[in-house]
Amino acid sequence: MTTVIAIDGPAGSGKSTIARELARRVGVPHVDTGAFYRALTLAVLRAGADPADQASVLDVLARTNVCRADDRTLLDGHDVSDEIRSGEVTASVSAVARHPQVRARLVEWQRAAIGDHGAVVEGRDAATVIVPDATLKVWLTAPPAVRATRRAAQQGNADAAVIEQVVTQLIARDQADRGNTFRARDAIEIDTADLTIADVVDRVVAHLPADD
């Protein structure tokens, strides 16, 4: 049986953490679609290109390869999983992801990362664009303050002032990504604010169709 689970939601809603654990539970690859955009953004910044200029980004894309292996992100064969989470990449990734021709090419790579038995595909348009025929579609959400607290903790600083700053950044990111973030009509919604990772994974698994 091929099982493809699409997980979408705004930044900080828990997509990566949930998708990674869910993929482990189900026994399929974890396809982090955002990592592809982040890796390309890193390549664009390294090349000194303008993230807001589609022609410049496409020029970098033409000589760049991004793939996923063992839940790590490779840029031209080099592991950049940590580097793509930098503040500089985060500040520019929305601009890169906004270009239609760039998105079309990366969708090809993202679909190619799905294994023979399926995958857990996470992003902002996984269920509507990348795998619209997914076995199960999930929309994760949480209030901005909760998402900001998580992000601040990941960065090693959960100070109130830092959290407030991250809230502002997340709201701005939500606005920037609005054109590329979609909830599928047939997706189940899970508010992760008061749930553990195991709770969310259990809820998703409970919605999977039974094996024939």
Summarize pLDDT for 49-78 with one digit per residue, the tens: 999 999 999 999 999 999 998 889 999 999
Judge whether 140 and 22 are in contact, CB under 8 Å: no
Angle at CA 142, nearest 5°, toward 140 and 148?
Answer: 120
Q: What does DSSP assign to residue 192?
A: -
Per the model's pLDDT, the better-predicted residue between 157 and 182 turns out to be 182
Q: What does DSSP assign to residue 209?
A: P
Judge whether 76 and 64 are in contact, CB under 8 Å: yes
Is 13 a residue whose pLDDT tops 80?
yes
- Closest to 125 measured CA to CA, from 193, 201, 180: 180
Residues 92 and 86: their CA atoms lie apart, in Å, by 10
pLDDT of residue 146: 84
Summarize pLDDT for 161-170 with one digit per residue, the tens: 777 787 788 7
Question: What is the rounded average pLDDT of the residues 161-183?
Answer: 77
Summarize pLDDT for 116-149 with one digit per residue, the tens: 899 999 998 999 999 999 999 999 998 888 888 8
